[in-house]
């Protein structure tokens, strides 16, 4: 249970968070109805899953557009191999792109409704989920085939974040209001952590082993301790969030839980330290680990916003 003092301090921080400014906000047109964004921080390339194509962005310019059919639902990148994985929930497939050539290397039948993907770079595997039964498809990153399908117990899963080093993966259970913890070495779920209403996107600060969960049905982020697998804090936000991204070097957390924009959070203190008004209901969020540039989607304007200095 969250101590009353912690909750009160988080609420005060959320209500008094200063309005922040960015050095620069660049708008990039990326195609109809962008839903997900991923960054290869090694190359600085950004990949956006739009309605029926993947837009490849470099230097805030679209350098390629790869038609895939649609609708696309998520995207992830393997920074070691450069491969990009785009999910199509309706088709139940994951398309594999070559990071440099943007050539289609394969289309994997992941299973009905598989809408969310993340990469285990250590094991060269991809985890896909989102189907009605809560199962998880494990895809082979070498052969571009389905390795196995793991049964789930919590119902539909909405988001996934793999911790390759610790051999675990975290999944948000939209209906169960939990984060389900998968032991990737054993291939079985080992813990279920209660969080807030309608948990959606999540991310991990790897050094501190803290998981940040955007509860889209309420106005707070859940902070989980990856070691004890418990919720240790709630960070109240000005509005509900659906996406979260962590800058590993600074421990700064970014979420679309600000009114018409972004909120910035000090991950060590679990406090909102700034809000950035963008004039839009921000969508998916990602961060370049090398430059610190924050990328956020503007689905209403079919755009990607590249934000520096926030």
The residues near 81 (Cβ < 8 Å, ≥ 6 apart) are 99, 124, 141
pLDDT at site 22: 75
Phi first, then psi: what are they for 119, rounded to 5°?
Answer: -110, 135
Largest CA distance in the chain: 53
Angle at 13 between CA 7 and CA 18, to 5 degrees: 165
Q: How far from each other are the two terminal CA atoms of the chain, in whole angstroms?
A: 32
Give the per-residue SS3 of the chain. CCCHHHHHHHHHHHHHCCECCCCEEEEEECCCCCCEEEEECCCCEEEEECCCEEEEEECCEEEEEEECCCCCCEEEECCCCCCEEEEECCCCEEEEECCCCCCEEEEEECCCCCCEEEEECCCCEEEEECCCCCCEEEEECCCCEEEEEECCCCCCEEEEEEECCCCEEEEEECCCCEEEEEECCCCEEEEEEECCCCEEEEEEECCCCEEEEEECCCCEEEEEECCCCEEEEEEECCCCCCCEEEECCCCEEEEEEECCEEEEEECCCCEEEEEEECCCCCCCEEECCCCCCEEEEEHHHCEEEEEECC
pLDDT recorded at residue 93: 97
Answer whether 171's CB lies under 8 Å from 180's CB.
Answer: yes
How many other C-beta atoms can be found within 10 angstroms of the C-beta atom of residue 18?
10
Residue 7: count of CB within 10 angstroms of its CB: 16
Query: ∠28-29-35 over CA atoms, to 5°?
Result: 100
Q: How far is CA 248 from CA 125, 206, 212, 233, in A?
A: 22, 7, 13, 19
Compute the CA torsion angle 214, 23, 248, 271 (nearest 10 deg): -50
Do the beta carbons of residue 289 and residue 249 sit within 8 Å? Answer: yes
pLDDT digit string (tens) for 102-124? 899 999 999 999 999 999 999 99
Q: What is the pLDDT of residue 136?
A: 98
Give pLDDT, residue 153.
82
The values of phi and psi at residue 218, to 5°, are: -150, 175
**pLDDT at 6 (0 to 100):** 42
Query: Which parts of the chain sit beneath pLDDT 70?
Result: 1-20
Q: What is the pLDDT of residue 164?
A: 97
Digit-coded pLDDT (tens) for 245-286? 999 999 999 999 887 899 999 999 999 999 999 988 899 999
Say how far apart CA 118 and CA 104 lie, in whole Å.
Answer: 18
């Amino acid at each position: 249970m969250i101590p009353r003092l912690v909750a009160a301090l988080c609420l005060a921080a959320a209500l008094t968070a200063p309005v922040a400014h960015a050095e620069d906000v660049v708008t990039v047109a990326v195609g109809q109805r962008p839903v997900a964004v991923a960054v290869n921080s090694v190359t600085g390339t950004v990949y956006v899953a739009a309605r029926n194509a993947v837009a490849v962005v470099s230097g805030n310019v679209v350098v390629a557009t790869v038609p895939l059919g649609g609708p696309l639902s998520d995207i992830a990148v393997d920074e070691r191999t450069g491969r990009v994985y785009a999910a199509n929930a309706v088709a139940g497939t994951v398309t594999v792109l070559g990071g440099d050539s943007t050539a289609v290397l394969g289309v994997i039948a992941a299973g009905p409704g598989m809408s969310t993907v993340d990469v285990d770079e250590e094991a060269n595997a991809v985890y896909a989920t989102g189907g009605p039964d809560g199962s998880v498809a494990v895809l082979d990153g070498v052969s571009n085939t389905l390795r196995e399908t793991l049964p789930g117990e919590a119902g539909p899963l909405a988001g996934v974040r793999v911790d390759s080093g610790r051999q675990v993966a975290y999944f948000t259970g939209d209906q169960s209001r939990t984060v389900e913890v998968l032991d990737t070495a054993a291939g079985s779920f080992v813990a279920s952590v209660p969080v807030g209403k309608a948990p959606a996107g999540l991310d991990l600060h790897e050094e501190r082993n803290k998981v940040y969960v955007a509860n889209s049905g309420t106005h707070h982020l859940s902070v989980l301790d990856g070691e004890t697998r418990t919720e240790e804090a709630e960070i109240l936000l000005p509005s509900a969030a659906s996406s979260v991204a962590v800058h590993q070097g600074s421990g700064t957390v970014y979420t679309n839980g600000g009114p018409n924009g972004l909120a910035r959070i000090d991950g060590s203190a679990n406090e909102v330290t700034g809000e950035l008004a963008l004039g839009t209901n921000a969508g998916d969020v990602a961060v370049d680990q090398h430059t610190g540039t924050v990328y956020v989607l503007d689905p209403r304007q079919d755009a990607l916003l590249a934000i520096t200095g926030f």
